[in-house]
Chain A
Amino acid sequence: MKRIGIDVGGTNTDAVLIDGEKVVSAIKFPTTADVMQGVVNAIGHVVASQAPGASPIDAVMIGTTHFTNAVVERARLERIAAIRIAMPAGASLPPMIDWPDDLRESVDPLSFMVHGGHEYDGRPLVPLARDEIRDAAMKIRDAGITSVGITALFSPLTAECELEAAEIVRSIIPDARITLSHTLGRIGLLERENVTLLNAALQGLGRKTIDAFKDALNQAGVNAPFYLTQNDGTVVLADVAAANPVYSFASGPTNSMRGAAFLTGLKEAMVIDVGGTTSDVGCLVGGFPREANNVVEVGGVRTLFRMPDLLPMALGGGTIIDPETRKIGPRSVGYRITEKALVFGGDTLTTTDVAVAAGLVEIGDRDRVKHLDKAMVADLLKRIEAMVEDGVDRMKTSAEGVSLIAVGGGAFLIPERLKGASEVLRVEHAGVANALGAAMAQVSGEIDQVFSGMSRDNAIAEADRLARQRAVDAGADPKSVVTLDTEDIPIAYLPGDARRVRVRVVGDIAFMKASQKQAS
């Protein structure tokens, strides 16, 4: 099975080609102003590295920060309409109440709160107000808005209201692109609605981006299904991703950690991913990044996304050092390292210069850092070591020494021996761990809903079955699906032994046989 993994970052576009477990080729290109040209170049390079007559590529996995960046930059978002079906509940907190003002303005929303929705036990809160939805749809149509987010009370348990509202909207706006909250979110109306509306605002960009990737693949002569990596190290089919850009928000660090797991074969370890400006320290648990404890904000919006638990540190290859005080960072020369750093003829002392002077790595012109005082270089290395040790210590969950895998373009900054680490692992291709992580991503399925009127065991079994079904629907090979995480919370005060069950499963991608591909 041959896969291409691509990671489109702000500084570099990385690509790798793997065949089974073997890395065939890898390349790092600076990200170009025309992002897609960089993608075409990167794919072209890894494809061309194959022997003539090689078998075709089975799949392409792309990790991108496109969608997160759009939210963070308040750019490329489209005008949206929000329909919330929960009245008379929640009237005091209208949609987007907790969005930053500038983000809300950039999507210029039309918001409607209509009567309907359900209770936790499946009873209607009040009858669904179809006429209110019709009125809203006509106003949305008259405003020329085509991207609509619909959120109904307790829809993760009962999606009826959302589905019916979508039909009404579609009957009035046939070309509407509608996001339904129950397909994206968990219990927690405000956070689920936030995600739904972010998703609505990214509809146009989602489609455009996927189409551009498709073109890039065609230009590079690759005809294979392609996937986008998600926040949790798994992937979804590109066409699913186009409809749900929010699934693909965070991928860089996640992919790096998954790549580190792949390169070392370790399932439990710590990973430090050293970039140009920052490093991320994270933990692998069962081969996946450990999730964060707390609510995750994207571009200032509160969501219930699963995101990796990462400790960002202001330490990268371009981090600026003050030679007077010997203070390291937090500022960095970033992508301008090739003009600013001493080894490239610049006038700014960076961590890379120190590493070159100490003989840790060969970058640029070593003679340009010959003059650096040996004692200072040694002292700075000590300081870097202390920073890394502190970061590792803060993320560690056991006092025993753990294996630390160093990846990323600046991995040379990580010392050979560290307090708290039993070993520091460096691996070939560490610089493109993110693209590797993308290449080996899996698909997941998740269920998070309230079950009542059945035993705990039955509820968990049922949730597991539904999660597996979701994973298979998303492209997983049913035989490879394993349960990754299961959690159940009986609900205080609720009758009928009600419990909220959350199950997450992952599986390998079921690649269609060539014959099936032609048939579809």
Chain B
Amino acid sequence: MIRDFEASEIDPLAVGAWILGTGGGGSPYLAQLNLRKLYKEGKRVKLLDPLALDDGDAVAVVSKMGAPLVGQERLVDPAHLARAMQLMEEYTGRKFRAVMSVEIGGGNALSPFLAAAMLDIPVVDADAMGRAYPEAQMTSFAIGDLPMYPLTLVDCRDNEAIVAKAASWKWMERISRKICTEVGSTSATCKAPRTGKEVKEWGVLHTVTKAVSLGRAVLDARAAHTDPIEAVLAHEGGKVLFKGKVADVDRTTTGGFLRGAAQIEGLDDDRGSKVELAFQNEWAVAFRDGQPIAMTPDLICLLDTVSGEAIGTETVRYGQRVTVVALPAPAVLTSPKGLEHVGPRAFGYDLDFKSVFAA
């Protein structure tokens, strides 16, 4: 129901979350350092089973928002994530029972832990994506048509903003993105608070536990000199799509996002074949010799062939030896309503969703 989150789980969480980040979400390294430091100072975080939430509990949803590159300079600070939560409490007049992550993919998997360690409240073992996505309307809460406001946003210079209301999830995304860009393209945010009932109905449950055990499987495989990619596949019921070498990366910024494609030339059994991984912050669609072979919301992950380490859309580069794998998506994302929000068409691809894992 509620248990201590052990110091020994920090690194596996980071490794697992980076894989579930499907190319986006930013590297968890800095958040990892922060959390280790807080643990060293004696702080502890408790992990709460979402099923133990009371329907009326208020749950905070926190995340870093902004450009990964800026995050590499303006290092994430737990104090700001905590402040965004407090600001929300001040504004709504309600105390939070617990805090959760908006996305288990990438560095934001650790964001609620940083806030929780500062404020001494538990983290809910759940998120709202089961992976990473770039925009507010791509959460399971948006798919559930839950309220999208208010939102608080905090910058390191005592700039604090509250978006009191937005007409839709997309409007919330647009308005908050504008503020974030103005304060230097990095900020700490507390999204619309959720009730315990909403989390139980619409959250993607037990994803923290899943990320930790995925990360542990990879780290154990590395230590035992067995194939870490096999470990990922076995753990998630995933499939290898392609093995090769990055031959070209073409990136363009349009509409405030990183869009483009990585070209991967096949090696071994895939020789003579080519895969194009199209991305919008996260890997969105994989085309093999022109034909789509995997697409969002199935998780498309690009992993270092030797270490099993995830490779991000900003860090992928020429010459890397990589393995493309697909992992199954949470059911909420593959539902008809889910596909409206995060299916291939939500990213501008005129494709009917066909899962790699369809029978």
The finding on whether chains A and B are genuine partners in a shared complex, rather than unrelated, reads: yes
Point out residues on A near B: beta carbons under 8 Å.
Answer: 86, 88-93, 97-98, 119-120, 123, 125-126, 153-154, 187-190, 285, 290-291, 293-294, 394, 397-399, 450, 456, 485, 487-495, 497-500
Identify the closest chain B residue to A123 (Cβ).
B184
Contacts of B67 in A (CB 8 A): 120, 491-494
Instruction: From B67, B73, B77, B253, name the one whose CB has the most chain A CB atoms within 10 angstroms.
Output: B73
* A445 CA / B1 CA spacing, docked (Å): 57
Contacts of A125 in B (CB 8 A): 74, 157, 184
Identify the closest chain B residue to A155 (Cβ).
B73
Among B180-212, those with CB < 8 Å from A are: 180-181, 184-185
Stretch at the interface among B94-102, B290-298, B315-323: B315-323
Question: Smallest CB–CB gap between A269 and chain B, Å?
Answer: 15
**Are the CB atoms of A189 and B68 closer together than 8 Å?**
no
**Are the CB atoms of A399 and B304 closer together than 8 Å?**
no
Question: Smallest CB–CB gap between B96 and chain A, Å?
Answer: 21
**Are the CB atoms of B181 and A495 closer together than 8 Å?**
yes
**Are the CB atoms of B253 and A90 closer together than 8 Å?**
no
Flag whether B235 is at the interface (Cβ < 8 A): no
- Contacts A97-B37, A190-B30, A399-B268 hold; do A492 and B314 have CB atoms under 8 A apart? yes
Flag whether B156 is at the interface (Cβ < 8 A): yes
Flag whether B354 is at the interface (Cβ < 8 A): no
* A106 CA / B48 CA spacing, docked (Å): 42
Q: B66-103, CB under 8 A of A: which get 1 and which 0?
A: 11111011111111000000000000000000000000
Identify the closest chain A residue to B320 (Cβ).
A293
- Contacts A92-B34, A126-B157, A399-B271 hold; do A493 and B245 have CB atoms under 8 A apart? no
Flag whether B337 is at the interface (Cβ < 8 A): no
Contacts of B70 in A (CB 8 A): 120, 491, 494
Q: Which one, A88, A188, A294, A397, contacts B267 given CB within 8 A?
A: A397
**Are the CB atoms of A490 and B253 closer together than 8 Å?**
yes
18 additional A-B residue pairs with CB within 8 Å, beyond A92-B37, A125-B74: A88-B157, A89-B74, A89-B156, A90-B75, A92-B34, A120-B67, A120-B69, A120-B185, A285-B319, A397-B267, A399-B271, A489-B258, A490-B253, A490-B260, A491-B67, A491-B253, A491-B258, A493-B181
- Contacts A490-B258, A492-B281 hold; do A187 and B72 have CB atoms under 8 A apart? yes
- Contacts A93-B34, A493-B180, A493-B256 hold; do A500 and B69 have CB atoms under 8 A apart? yes
Identify the closest chain B residue to A393 (Cβ).
B268
Contacts of B317 in A (CB 8 A): 487
**Are the CB atoms of A190 and B157 closer together than 8 Å?**
no
* A450 CA / B68 CA spacing, docked (Å): 13
**Are the CB atoms of B73 and A189 closer together than 8 Å?**
yes
Identify the closest chain B residue to A498 (Cβ).
B253
**Are the CB atoms of B73 and A120 closer together than 8 Å?**
yes
Contacts of B260 in A (CB 8 A): 490
- Contacts A290-B319, A487-B318 hold; do A92 and B75 have CB atoms under 8 A apart? yes
* A153 CA / B309 CA spacing, docked (Å): 28
* A291 CA / B317 CA spacing, docked (Å): 11
Contacts of B320 in A (CB 8 A): 293
Q: Which one, B30, B73, B249, contacts A187 given CB within 8 A?
A: B73
Q: Which one, A285, A492, A497, contacts B258 given CB within 8 A?
A: A492
Contacts of B74 in A (CB 8 A): 86, 89-90, 125, 153, 189
- Contacts A399-B271, A493-B257 hold; do A188 and B245 have CB atoms under 8 A apart? no
Identify the closest chain B residue to A283 (Cβ).
B319
Question: Smallest CB–CB gap between A2 and chain B, Å?
Answer: 35
Flag whether B307 is at the interface (Cβ < 8 A): yes
**Are the CB atoms of A88 and B181 closer together than 8 Å?**
no
Question: Smallest CB–CB gap between B306 and chain A, Å?
Answer: 7
Flag whether B177 is at the interface (Cβ < 8 A): yes
Q: Which one, A119, A394, A490, contacts B306 given CB within 8 A?
A: A394
